[in-house]
Amino acid sequence: MVVGEFTQETDLVIIGGGPAGYAAAFRAAELGVQTVIVDSRRDGALGGVCLHEGCIPSKTLLHVAEMIDQAEHPTQLGVSFGKPKIDLAAIRSWKENSIKKLAAGLESQCKKHGVERIQGRAHFEDSRNIALLDSTIPRIRFRRALLAVGATPKVHANIPFDGNLILTPGEALKIDLVPKSLLIVGDDYMAVELAAIYSSLGSAVTLASPAERLLPEVDIDLARPLIKRLESRLSGLHNGIAVAKAEIDGKIARVKFEGPEAPKSGKFELVIVANGHVGNTRGLQLEKTKVELDSNEFVGIDAHMRTADPRIFAAGDVTGAPLLADKALHQGRIAAEVIAGKATMFDARVIPTAIFTDPQIAWCGLIEEDAKRQGVEYAVARIPWGASGRAVGMGRSEGLTKIIYDPHSQVIFGIGMVGFNACELIAEGALAIEMGAVLTDLAATIHPHPTVSELISDVARQATTHHGNS
């Protein structure tokens, strides 16, 4: 680095140390680009929201919830473990230690690649310089900059976060306590994952969905088994209702609801609001650059991760939906390669989505509702997991595997599944669509037996047989 009296210079400055940021930094360094990461976390640890408040803690806690639920399940198989004893402090310790191990791994990668890290809060002075607050470095002059600052929870107009009784999903994952009564407001995957975690830990959970059904973005065939399970486990699951008002009364939140079938009110020890996200761009002073934002403060980019400002790129959640870490990692690497002069672009046909509840839901490509809405001619093949010897033997036959395909060419448009460990199985579907596979490709692929994965080839084979006889 070239250090002047007031200004440090670098080829690439990356603002944000989450998946998009560190993936871009490591790839840029591999390609010989002088790289600095600026991140505002006071502890200096990389990983962003995904590692510290999102993906990793939520999936760690969902695994704990799954083990608690599985302790009840074996009774039908002739095995009884008794009621699980929950040590909340030990659970928190395991979660935090897992995060620390992964953060240490990222620190090691920084050293390996020679990426410099600077703690501080950045804002743009213009399209060539950023100023830093709360940092030992006051200013950085750059040739290129990458925005990887992520997204932040959107505030609900009638239920503002207070960090005490009304929490963001990230705050709720700290698991400071297990409330006797919990209200979760939301209809997306975060809402259902939190409902699964807290209900397994012993909370009486009420889930209030503003949509007409829970998980409206998920194929209904895939969502149905999870919704059925939640209905049996939660204290209340209400669709199409809104929160009109929330008042804090000591250690209780009093909530009033609106909707044709909504309860009038309720008292809860804790409220979690999953109300979507906005781009985490406030305070960056992007108005001093040519970067353009949409109505939700997300940054506009092209397929090369370029913003409207030729010197500034963006990747990850700050670029808008879908807000997924796998997309962020991929975008970060692409941005680094473009900055290094490589001819590359974001051209993924599909981005797989996974919901780590019990049962799990995973899909990629086109879902049936979208095909109808877009006027796409399609056909559907489904197979219940009751057809799987493995699923039946585990007592987990509630699942389903589904393929959406072109009825003429038999090219696969989308693959989805719901069931035990579905999230570990969806990668085959993503690969199939990326390679332009047709039904016969999946049908002819030998899968190990007995496994749930072989249902992908089974359902493809059934579809080809049906079309061959029609």
Residues carrying an active site annotation: 449
177 vs 174: CA distance, rounded Å: 9
Give all strands (DSSP E) within 274-349, no chain letters: 277-279, 312-314
428 vs 43: CA distance, rounded Å: 38
54 vs 59: CA distance, rounded Å: 8
List Cα–Cα distances, 331 to 246, 278, 430, in angstroms.
39, 19, 17
Length of the chain: 470
Q: Is 332 helix (H, G, I), strand (E, B) or coil?
A: helix
Secondary structure tally for the chain: helices H, strands E? 13, 23
Q: What does DSSP assign to residue 411?
A: B
Which residue type occupies 333?
R
Task: Please give the angle made by the CA atoms of 101, 103 and 108, to the nearest 5 degrees.
Answer: 95
Residue 395, sorted as left (phi over 0), alpha (psi -120 to 50) or beta, turns out to be: left
Q: Assess contact for 376 and 399: CB atoms under 8 A.
A: no
Quote the radius of gyration of the chain (alpha carbons, Å).
24
Q: Residue 89 has which token pair?
A: 């402090």
**Burial track 267-293 (b if 16+ CB lie within 10 A, e otherwise):** ebbbbbbbbbbbbbbeebebeebebeb
List Cα–Cα distances, 320 to 28, 44, 181, 297, 325, in angstroms.
23, 25, 33, 9, 12
Q: Assess contact for 215 and 353: CB atoms under 8 A.
A: no
Q: β-strand 252-258 against 265-268: which pairing, if any? A: antiparallel
Closest CA to 311 of 118, 150, 126, 121: 126
**Burial track 351-362 (b if 16+ CB lie within 10 A, e otherwise):** ebbbbbbbbbbb
